[in-house]
């Protein structure tokens, strides 16, 4: 009985040993790279490695002058913690960086991993000669590098967009690439549009190996690993001017605009110089109050800004003959609260008389029911206005992929209803235009009638600085207004400001002469309206087109004109300092 029991025990021991051996074989030989989803080899190496990421490997954005918009690269000194356990020429390094050696010793004593030599919260920035002297010494654990840092000042967040981790989407997009599940991808803005060009191949990092006790393996120097591809990551050069972008965002914030957008275009190139959307994005809660929406790219009710389209169509179709219009009446024939009397076409435009444009609109649709659509396209309002084209192996690539199409009619039957036509003529009913599109219309007029696509990116560059792809200027349409019509529209837009009753007369004292058009659009939400001012400046030699819209505000609380005026003043100040000389 005892003998039988001992046999059973021995068999169990043998089975346990075989089980352990099998498990060891599985761990060491069979499932080393896929044990419960874990790469045991990589995990083992990581456990014996100390490292410092220098660059996450993702492509970056810069402004039109090459100034960084996402990350900056600061020349810094990296120290590894094993230095505190060995003799090294600390006096030499302290002398080169002009920092007392006590500071270096203290920071090393507190270090639990590789550190950047710092002064409080800021890294100590090195000069090129300092970096060269430090690296020439070839001291193990002491190396000068350009370390990537996220900019503290956020620029054009709605344009650039945000990054986020999403392992499922990452695998769906990049199934053929061996990427870490922690790799960040673009979730909005240009980060999303250009994600396939920006996604990193590998991090750039410094690392060294340690033994089981955490002691350095001195036979192995600190290693510098970087992306194997010498051309990546890509740098995307935008058309944004970082200084003007910052000032525009400050002005919007100072005036407390809670919801709206600002678009500033370079008239000659049709480039976005600055673009802001309110509310600003809080990265801790980016979707709060719809902040992630770029209001500049979304169609809004334009109100009287749309009268520019009606004016252009009326001029080219011979409907303006010096007649007068009864501006004491509304478009439905009812009495206006404020009587404005009989007015000429020019006066009607300057004071924004609804009756005049309601009547002209009905005459135009009677001639051709597609009249508004035709002239909206000629003026660069429809369908979308952002740059679109073939890029590398992507057809119809759109940097501003969040831009939505504008709209004039929702129900074609409305073209047969006089009141609906009149409402459409003054930018109400179903008319929806994005601030970007309205800015494009102003730039088209200021430029002399040539409608272009709006550019937000100039080019993509390889890591070595050579150009990978250029976003050339492109026409939006070849169908333009007659020169006489453009000349008259420019005259009318200036009259809005110079006329004693003009809706833009408050801009008469600005350092640049302004031409433009106001708009007050009913939103269907009680007294809340969209307040617009769209224009360009200087009026006699146009350089910038500017649109400011405050959404869902009351007329009395509107800060649209104040923001517009301040941006003109800021631009004037920068121009006068010679910053934008050709």
- List active site positions: 304
Helix (H) or strand (E) holding 536: strand 528-537
User: Helix or strand or coil: residue 239?
Assistant: coil
At residue 236, φ and ψ (nearest 5 deg) are -100, 120
Give Cβ neighbours of residue 438 (< 8 Å, ≥ 6 apart): 263, 302, 305, 381, 532, 534, 547, 549
**Token digits for 9?**
């025990």
Task: Please name the residue that has the structure tokens 């004039």.
Answer: 408
Distance CA 544, CA 558 (A): 23
Task: Please name the residue that has the structure tokens 């995307």.
Answer: 236
At residue 187, φ and ψ (nearest 5 deg) are -110, -10
Burial class (CB in 10 A: 0-12, 13-18, 19+), 267: buried
Task: Please name the residue that has the structure tokens 């029911």.
Answer: 369
Burial of 205-222, coded b for 16+ CB within 10 Å and e otherwise, reads bbbbbbeeeeebeeeeeb
At residue 220, φ and ψ (nearest 5 deg) are -115, 115
Q: What's the half-sphere exposure (Cβ side, CA atoms, 13 Å) at 140? A: 17
């Amino acid at each position: 009985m005892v003998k039988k029991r001992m046999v059973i025990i021995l068999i169990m021991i043998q089975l346990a040993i075989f089980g352990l051996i099998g498990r060891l074989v599985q761990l060491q030989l069979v499932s080393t790279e896929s044990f419960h989803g874990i790469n045991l080899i990589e995990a083992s190496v990581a456990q014996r490695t100390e490292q410092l990421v220098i660059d996450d490997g993702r492509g970056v954005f810069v402004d039109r002058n090459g100034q960084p918009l996402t990350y900056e690269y600061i020349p810094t000194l990296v120290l590894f913690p094993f230095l505190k356990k060995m003799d090294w020429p600390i006096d030499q390094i302290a002398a080169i960086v002009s920092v007392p050696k006590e500071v270096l010793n203290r920071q090393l004593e507190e270090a639990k991993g590789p550190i950047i030599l710092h002064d409080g919260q800021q890294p100590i920035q090195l000069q090129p000669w300092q970096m060269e002297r430090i690296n020439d010494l070839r001291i193990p654990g002491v190396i000068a590098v350009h370390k990537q840092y996220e900019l503290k000042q956020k620029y054009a967040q709605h344009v650039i967009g945000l990054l986020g981790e999403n392992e499922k989407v990452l695998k769906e997009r990049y199934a053929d690439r061996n990427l870490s599940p922690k790799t960040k991808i673009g979730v909005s803005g240009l980060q999303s549009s250009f994600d396939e060009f920006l996604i990193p191949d590998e991090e750039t990092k410094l690392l060294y190996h340690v033994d089981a006790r955490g002691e350095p393996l001195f036979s192995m120097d600190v290693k510098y690993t970087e992306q194997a591809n010498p051309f990546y990551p890509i740098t995307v050069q935008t058309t944004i001017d970082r200084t003007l972008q910052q000032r525009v965002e400050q002005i919007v914030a100072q005036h407390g605009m809670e919801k709206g957008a600002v678009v500033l275009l370079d008239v000659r190139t049709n480039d976005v110089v600055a673009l802001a959307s309110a509310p600003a994005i809080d990265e801790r809660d980016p979707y709060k109050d719809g902040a992630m929406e770029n209001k500049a790219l979304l169609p809004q009710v334009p109100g009287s800004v749309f009268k520019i389209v009606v004016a252009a169509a009326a001029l080219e179709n011979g409907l303006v003959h010096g007649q007068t219009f009864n501006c004491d009446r509304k478009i439905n024939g009812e009495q206006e609260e404020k009587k404005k009397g009989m007015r000429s076409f020019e006066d009607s435009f300057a004071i924004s008389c609804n009756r005049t444009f309601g009547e002209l609109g009905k005459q135009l649709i009677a001639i051709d029911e597609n009249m508004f659509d035709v002239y909206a396209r000629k003026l660069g309002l429809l369908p979308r206005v952002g740059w679109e084209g073939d890029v590398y192996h992507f057809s119809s690539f759109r940097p501003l992929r969040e831009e939505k199409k504008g709209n004039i009619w929702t129900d074609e039957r409305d073209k047969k209803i006089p009141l609906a036509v009149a409402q459409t003529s003054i930018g109400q009913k179903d008319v929806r235009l994005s601030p970007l599109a309205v800015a494009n219309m102003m730039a088209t007029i200021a430029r002399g009638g040539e409608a272009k696509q709006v550019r937000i990116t100039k080019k993509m560059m390889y890591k070595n600085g050579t150009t990978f792809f250029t976003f050339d200027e492109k026409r939006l349409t070849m169908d333009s207004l007659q020169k006489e019509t453009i000349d008259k529209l420019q005259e009318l837009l200036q009259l809005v400001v110079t006329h004693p009753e003009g809706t833009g007369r408050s801009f008469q004292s600005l350092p640049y002469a302004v031409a433009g058009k106001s708009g007050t659009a009913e939103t269907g939400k009680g007294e809340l309206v969209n307040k617009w001012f769209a224009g360009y400046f200087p009026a006699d030699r146009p350089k910038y087109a500017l649109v400011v819209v405050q959404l869902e505000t009351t007329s009395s609380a509107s800060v649209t004109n104040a923001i517009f005026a301040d941006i003109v003043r800021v631009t004037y100040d920068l121009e006068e300092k010679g910053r934008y000389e050709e």
